[in-house]
Amino acid sequence: MEGFEVVTAKSGRIGVDTARSEKPDVILCDIMMPEMDGYTVVQTLREDAAFATTPFLFLTAKGEKSDIRVGMNFGADDYLTKPIVREDLLAAIEARLARAEAQGEHYRELGGTGNLPDFSSPAPLQQDLGLTAREAEVLLWVAQGKSNGDVSAILGCSEKTVKQHLGNIFEKLGVENRTSASLVAVEALARHSAK
């Protein structure tokens, strides 16, 4: 009813095969599934270059902080817990699709080199941008569109600590906001992946 073409799968393994054949714009996945759980699904798809930047959202009943941290560390872009109201689900999907489009636009502005940023390690941000190891970790997640709350859950620290790290990052990079810092990070990660 919202204009999306939806394709479903009855298990994690079928979901991976379906994603590979259908090439969806966004993936919405449960964690507890037969044959292959959601963590294995996101890991499997993230190892495939064709899905490196495809928005991946978990929609699950597993809502503990540790579950959220695990899901985000495996490469999910968002983590939604059931039950969820329709408007919140649609807003999350729209936000991730808009972010993916904006990132695609930015890559094209970089000259269409085809070099996508490699989000697998914060080390390039530490080396190239002069950040501490923890600042590089924070910026890596922020560049992937994570909120301060998401980053605090992933890294196991308070939101206040994340905010302090972001202040240091902004100062070191000479930028004023998280969007500008994210663009610097994406450019650095794309340059590093081209090497």
Give the model's pLDDT for residue 103: 66
Can you give the pTM of this predicted structure? 0.64
pLDDT of residue 188: 87
Residue 104 pLDDT: 65
Tell me if 49 sits within 8 A of 68, measured CB to CB: no
| Location of structure tokens 């817990």 | 81
Q: How far is CA 161 from its chain centroid?
A: 20
Where do the DSSP E strands lie in the chain?
27-29, 56-60, 78-81
- Distances in Å between the Cα of 32 and the Cα atoms of 21, 26, 79, 101, 192 are 23, 19, 14, 29, 35
**12-109 has which CATH code?**
3.40.50.2300
Position 48 scores a pLDDT of 81
Residue 143 has a pLDDT of 86
User: How many angstroms separate the CA atoms of 10 and 145, rounded?
Assistant: 29
pLDDT the model gives residue 163:
94
Residue in this structure with the two tokens 């204009």, named with its chain if needed = 3
* Stretch(es) of the chain classified as CATH 3.40.50.2300: 12-109
The ranges of the chain annotated as CATH 1.10.10.10 are 123-194
* Series of mean pLDDT values for 10-residue runs along the chain (195 residues): 89 94 93 91 85 86 80 82 89 84 64 63 90 93 84 88 94 88 85 68
CB atoms within 10 A of CB 139: 29
Burial group, residue 26, by CB count within 10 angstroms (0-12, 13-18, 19+): middle
* CATH 1.10.340.70 fits domain 123-194: no
Structure tokens at 116: 């996508």
Give helix 38-46 / helix 12-22 axis angle, nearest 10°: 30
With contact defined as beta carbons under 8 Å apart, do 45 and 51 qualify?
A: yes
